[in-house]
Structure 1
């Protein structure tokens, strides 16, 4: 059994007496990619913040492995628009040497942007920069809040493929939040459907048949996911192009 990185034990967060996250149990091991899905207001970001220690718990516990290094990719990068900030300077704020920063940028495919202004990056470039910033820490656990936010469909597929590759290379665990159900189903090992509490969890191929999943997302989404998962047996390169074996019948992209 691989090393346990994070254990959530009956984790509960209440705002003004109302549970936003209710009695969540979860175990994340090294090598896992676990994706948390759920409707808006389901408590997904609150759960992530509780794991990171940013959000105080009402009840329950978060247990982290000793000396656990977490790399966090937030949903948005909030910067003062009048403050000039290059990619190089942004990376150096991590406190790591330039060579390590350059290696991380190269690994996420944006080393050519070293001297560019952070303010002028596209959505995809910005997400790759945030991922590089998380990677430079050599994390045991990557925590990603909507990593494909503001990225076009081909870029999203490539980004999820990159996350899988990084998991393999670093042998880290990954927890991510996502709305893009079709792409996530191809990129994750386990899905947790959260709506304050855990409605259902399991392997992507099984979860679309779960009554709780169908209640939360509807029959149409569940059916299209089942079809998608069946056909999505190829990979994407960094530019979103299909590579590898199998049919090129990527039906999920049509449902975005």
Structure 2
């Protein structure tokens, strides 16, 4: 049995007596990648804030492994644009030593941007920077809120592939929020469809045809998105541009990737 990192037992969070998260049960083990999907206002961010310990439960319980280290990747990086800030300085603000910061940046494919301005990074580079900051903590659990926000579709596929690789390398658990089931299908082990309560959960391919999923999202994901996959022998850089194999250098992508097209 793999190691349990976080357990939610009948977790309920209410705002003004209205349940935003209603009696949710969840067990996250080391090695898991769990993706939470759901419509706007479904309580997804509130749920992960409870996992992080920054949102108090109104009912139920959140149990964390003793001395659990969590790396958190927020949905957006909001910085004062008039404040000069390099990638190096931003990473050091995490409190981790420089070698840990440099190693994390290299691992997420943005090591070459150490002295660049944070304000001049692309959407994909910013998301990888946030991921690197979380990795510098050497976490047992990665919690990601819409990690591909602001990244184009090819860059998103590369980012989800990287998250899966990091799970394998670090043997950590991963919880992430996404609204794009078709993009995370290949990168996740389990999907939880949340709409205050858990509507359905299971393997991605099964969830997409679950009656509760169809009731919430309208139709099976394969029909609504006409998803198909193909295999090709090139990669994508952080901007989603095509890079021939063997020509990536410091640019991170994924090889022979599966893409969803619609």
TM-score w.r.t. length of structure 2: 0.89
For residues 2 and 234 of structure 2, the distance between their equivalents in structure 1, rounded to whole angstroms, comes to: 28
Aligned-pair CA distance for 1:112: 1.1
Which residue of structure 1 lines up, in the alignment, with residue 119 of structure 2? 119
- Between Structure 1 and Structure 2, the one with more helix by share is 1
Q: Contact 1:153–1:253 (CA<8 Å) still a contact in 2?
A: no
Aligned-pair CA distance for 1:222: 4.9
Query: In structure 2, do the counterparts of structure 1 residues 233 and 33 end up closer, same or farther at CA, with 3 Å as the change threshold?
Result: farther
**Which consecutive aligned stretches of 4+ in structure 1 deviate over 2 angstroms post-superposition?**
220-225, 230-245
What residue ranges of structure 2 are gaps of 5+ in the alignment?
243-253
RMSD of Structure 2 on Structure 1 (CA): 1.9
2:48 is the alignment partner of 1:36: no
Aligned-pair CA distance for 1:29: 0.3
Q: Report the 3-state secondary structure (helix = DSSP H, G, I; strand = E; otherwise coil) of the residue aligned with 1:11.
A: strand
What residue ranges of structure 1 are gaps of 5+ in the alignment?
none
Q: Report the 3-state secondary structure (helix = DSSP H, G, I; strand = E; otherwise coil) of the residue aligned with 1:81.
A: coil
For residues 191 and 72 of structure 1, the distance between their equivalents in structure 2, rounded to whole angstroms, comes to: 19
Which residue of structure 2 lines up, in the alignment, with residue 216 of structure 1? 216
Alignment deviations for residues 164-211 of structure 1 (CA, whole Å, 9 cap, x no partner): 000000000000000122111121000000000000000011111110
Alignment deviations for residues 35-87 of structure 1 (CA, whole Å, 9 cap, x no partner): 00000000000001011011111001100011110000000112122211110
Which residue of structure 2 lines up, in the alignment, with residue 189 of structure 1? 189
Aligned-pair CA distance for 1:221: 3.1
For residues 244 and 76 of structure 1, the distance between their equivalents in structure 2, rounded to whole angstroms, comes to: 29
Which residue of structure 2 lines up, in the alignment, with residue 101 of structure 1? 101
Q: Contact 1:146–1:178 (CA<8 Å) still a contact in 2?
A: yes
For residues 130 and 44 of structure 1, the distance between their equivalents in structure 2, rounded to whole angstroms, comes to: 20
TM-score w.r.t. length of structure 1: 0.91
Aligned residues: 248
Q: Contact 1:34–1:189 (CA<8 Å) still a contact in 2?
A: yes
For residues 70 and 131 of structure 1, the distance between their equivalents in structure 2, rounded to whole angstroms, comes to: 12
Q: Contact 1:158–1:236 (CA<8 Å) still a contact in 2?
A: no
Q: Contact 2:71–2:139 (CA<8 Å) still a contact in 1?
A: yes
Q: Contact 1:208–1:223 (CA<8 Å) still a contact in 2?
A: no
Which residue of structure 2 lines up, in the alignment, with residue 49 of structure 1? 49
For residues 221 and 109 of structure 2, the distance between their equivalents in structure 1, rounded to whole angstroms, comes to: 32
